[in-house]
Amino acid sequence: MKLLVLKDSQAVAQAAAEHILSFIHSKPGLNIGLATGKTQEGVYKALIERHRSIKLRIEAARFFMLDEYLGVDAMSSVAFQGQLRSSFLSKVGASLEALEVLDGNAQDRTWESERFERQIQEAGGIDLQLLGIGANGHIGFNEPGSDFESRTRVVELHAETIQANFHQNEPPFKLPKRAISQGLGTIMESHSILLLATGDSKARAIAEMISGPITEQLPASILQLHKNVSVIVDEAAASLLSEDRHKSSR
């Protein structure tokens, strides 16, 4: 794992945007796996900013969702599809068809999960998968206890994940408790991965992901087995890393 520790969330977003841009420039028909969440929002904003000055050449790129809630209106602001389209893709000139969606309203979710996996395979795999991390070490919506071999499927969200992901004025009982997510096995097949984390609420998960045992209790720890993972974190998220690991990133 390559680790980069930067001062704050803004620096992380800028560095992540540069990392993504270098991939876009190296391969016009890139397949990018898109994550959602607060950490990614800054990255998408930085890319939109760059698009204003240099025009991102992403006409040939394809985008794949990482996860989606079950049973929410796909274009609403709760749905990841709606968020990705309105806060990122529509602002950098990506066509509607460029996003391979995970349909959280599909009647047959097993079929939908298999269809999505086939889309990835037929596209030649995901070149760059963006990831955030939950405070409990989840990636995508693969909660602690998820099988390392898991594929795209319906998952139950842990209470702490539901709480962390919603605004305080929206009571959790109204919000989805289930989602559809790329599996850990699916994520591990991405050719390269960029994981971002900011803030001290992520410090324990980051320390365990990098230096702890590889265990299904900390899903992100499986990334220790991937050959091409870059991790960019701010100082707060790096605060529980051993001094050696911290220094090695300077």
With a CB cutoff of 8 Å and minimum separation 6, the contacts of 38 are none
CB of 8 to ligand GLP, least distance (A): 15
Residue 244 falls in the annotated catalytic set: no
Residue 67 binds to ligand GLP (criterion: CB under 6 A) = yes
Q: What is the DSSP annotation of 69-138?
A: ESSS-TTSSSSHHHHHHHHTGGGTT--GGGEE---TT-S-HHHHHHHHHHHHHHTT--SEEEE---TTS-
Single out the segment in contact with ligand GLP by CB under 6 A; choices: 8-16, 37-45, 106-114, 208-216: 37-45
The candidate with the shortest Cα–Cα distance to 88, out of 160, 151, 37, is: 37
Residue 132 binds to ligand GLP (criterion: CB under 6 A) = yes
β-strand 2-6 against 128-131: which pairing, if any? unpaired
Residue 140 binds to ligand GLP (criterion: CB under 6 A) = yes
Single out the segment in contact with ligand GLP by CB under 6 A; choices: 33-41, 49-57, 145-153, 226-234: 33-41
Q: How far apart are CA 192 and CA 203, in angstroms?
A: 23
Binding to ligand GLP, residues 91-120 (CB under 6 A)? none
Residue 141 binds to ligand GLP (criterion: CB under 6 A) = yes
Residue 190 binds to ligand GLP (criterion: CB under 6 A) = no
Residue 39 binds to ligand GLP (criterion: CB under 6 A) = yes
β-strand 178-181 against 153-156: which pairing, if any? antiparallel
Residue 208 falls in the annotated catalytic set: no
Residue 158 falls in the annotated catalytic set: no
Catalytic residue ranges: 67, 136, 138, 143
Positions touching ligand GLP (CB under 6 A) are: 35-39, 66-67, 132-134, 140-141, 161, 165
